[in-house]
Chain A
Amino acid sequence: MDYQTPTSAEDAARLLAQEGAEALAGGTDLLVKLRAGMATPSMIVDLKSVPRLRGIEHDAKGWRIGAATPCAEIGEHAELAAAWPGVVEALQLIGSTQIQGRATLGGNLCNASPAADTVPALIAAGAICEVAGVSGERELPVQDVITSPGKNALARGEFIVGFRLPDPPKRSGDAYLRLIPRTEMDIAVVGAGVALALDAKGVCTHARVALGAVAPTPLLVADAAKALIGTKVDDAALESVAAAASAACKPIDDKRGTVAYRVKVAGVLAKRAARIAYQRASAK
């Protein structure tokens, strides 16, 4: 098995386009798969030497997070956490302190688990991926990346360079909640991310609601967003959000939860996340 450390996006794309090449970012999924024989690449392309994949920046377009920046580093960024608290709380839920030291947003998304914690929060926030490939670069909204469990929309040779988040509008807030049977170190039974914005009178003008672990891919639930827009996020609106979220679920029965349980909890978490997002928006 070959190991390469390209230092430019072009070189990385050229290497990843080769048969049997596999991208390495934080390695928290890939090394486990290698060990289990579930991945048998002939070449590992370590993307962490490409400078554009590392670090957090703010510019005129908003925030940019390098796709291979470890979660621990992102979690320490106070300004980003103030701007997008839901995104940051979601990525901080992943694994242990040790996993945080390695795990990345790009890896969490490309691994394409329906239960990935960062994905509903990023979808709710309207995050866009910068994707590089052999024929150049393109932008892809986060909600278009995961196509089925373990599969993503990237072509051979493509990889995620970074994530773009806009500056949050005035009077806006986001939140992410997940349910696990323990307090730490587990995979989501259900995850719910909500981002919303209010006008000067406290009426919701913009909303996005996303769910994880309740369908083959994370879901952007338009009906739940519609239930918020035009309301003051009162109890009646929150009940409609819960109903819309539950209605959108197409979960599986497994050891983590039954279909009925996931459908119910998805509504509860969507409602609670919307309430937290509303409180954060009101406090701004």
Chain B
Amino acid sequence: MAKHHVTTTVNGDSMEFLCSTEQTLLDVLRDELFLTGSKEGCSSGDCGACSVMLDGRLVCACLVLGVEAEGREVETIEGMAEGENLHPLQRKFIEHAALQCGVCTPGILVAAKALLEKNPDPTEIETRYWLAGNLCRCTGYDKIVRAVLDAAAEMRATAEKGAGKKSKSTKRPETASA
């Protein structure tokens, strides 16, 4: 069987690759596109180390065929920071020392970002359930959960400030014209 020619979007960039049917999306990301941030843990959907977003849904890249990415949008850990500027979750993981060996970290960051997009103010219990599919074998769960909750608080504060600024800036022209 000839290889499949797949055109897809990864972290906002259009990308093309060739793959065989057997290759998973994780295989393709790591071995064809050299995006090695997504990790291979179990290859059976149990550990979450390969968590990526596929058309806005959190999935395990090891349980998706590479060829299924045709025409879809994939987001990986490589798309999380903006250049040198780390995402608040990434900063908080460093501040809270929420990682030891680091193999689970990319998947947990992608999963946590998906949680905060859906629920900007999760409880600790909601956070733990959402991340139940991300295993950390260094068992640093408490620090991970604290980092996620702290990042969520900071992101809410930033969003409020942004909204405040916006409403002020809409008033400003009136004041100026008055």
Chain A interface residues toward B at CB < 8 A: 1-3, 24, 26-28, 31-32, 34-35, 44, 46, 48, 70, 72, 95-99, 101-102, 184-185
Contact = CB atoms under 8 A, between A and B. Distances in A.
Given A46-B68, A101-B57, A102-B64, A3 B48 contact: no
B22 A34 contact: yes
A28 B65 contact: no
B74 to A, nearest CB: 13
Interface stretch (B77-85, B129-137, B161-169): B129-137
Contact of B65 (A2, A24, A70, A99): A24
A95 B134 CA distance: 11
Interface string B9-40: 00000000000111010000000000000000
B45 A28 contact: yes
Contacts of B68: 27, 46, 48
A99 B60 contact: yes
Contacts of A70: 57
Interface residues of B, number: 32
Nearest to A32: B44
Contacts of B1: 1-2
A44 B67 CA distance: 11
Given A2-B21, A3-B21, A97-B58, A32 B63 contact: yes
A98 B130 CA distance: 9
Nearest to B56: A101
Contacts of B46: 185
Interface of B: 1, 4, 20-22, 24, 43-46, 48, 51, 54, 57-60, 62-65, 67-68, 111, 114-115, 129-134
Contacts of A27: 63-65, 68
21 contacts: A26-B63, A27-B68, A31-B45, A31-B62, A31-B64, A72-B57, A96-B45, A96-B48, A96-B133, A97-B58, A97-B114, A97-B131, A97-B132, A98-B51, A98-B59, A98-B63, A99-B45, A99-B60, A101-B58, A101-B59, A185-B133
A187 to B, nearest CB: 12
B132 A184 contact: yes
Contacts of B134: 96
Nearest to A70: B57
A35 B43 contact: yes
A101 B43 CA distance: 16
B59 A102 contact: yes
B131 to A, nearest CB: 8
Given A97-B58, A97-B115, 16 more contacts: A1-B1, A27-B63, A31-B63, A35-B44, A96-B134, A98-B45, A98-B48, A98-B51, A98-B60, A99-B60, A101-B57, A101-B58, A102-B57, A102-B59, A102-B63, A185-B133
Given A1-B1, A70-B57, A72-B57, A98 B111 contact: yes
A202 B131 CA distance: 41
Nearest to B48: A98
A2 B46 CA distance: 27
B133 A97 contact: yes
A44 B4 CA distance: 13
Given A31-B65, A44-B65, A102-B59, A1 B21 contact: yes
Contacts of B114: 97
Contacts of B48: 96, 98
Given A72-B57, A96-B48, A98-B58, A28 B63 contact: yes
B45 A32 contact: yes
Top 7 closest A-B pairs, CB basis? Answer: A96-B133, A101-B57, A1-B21, A184-B132, A3-B21, A101-B59, A98-B60
Contacts of A34: 22
A3 B22 CA distance: 9
Nearest to A43: B21
B45 A184 contact: no
Nearest to B130: A97
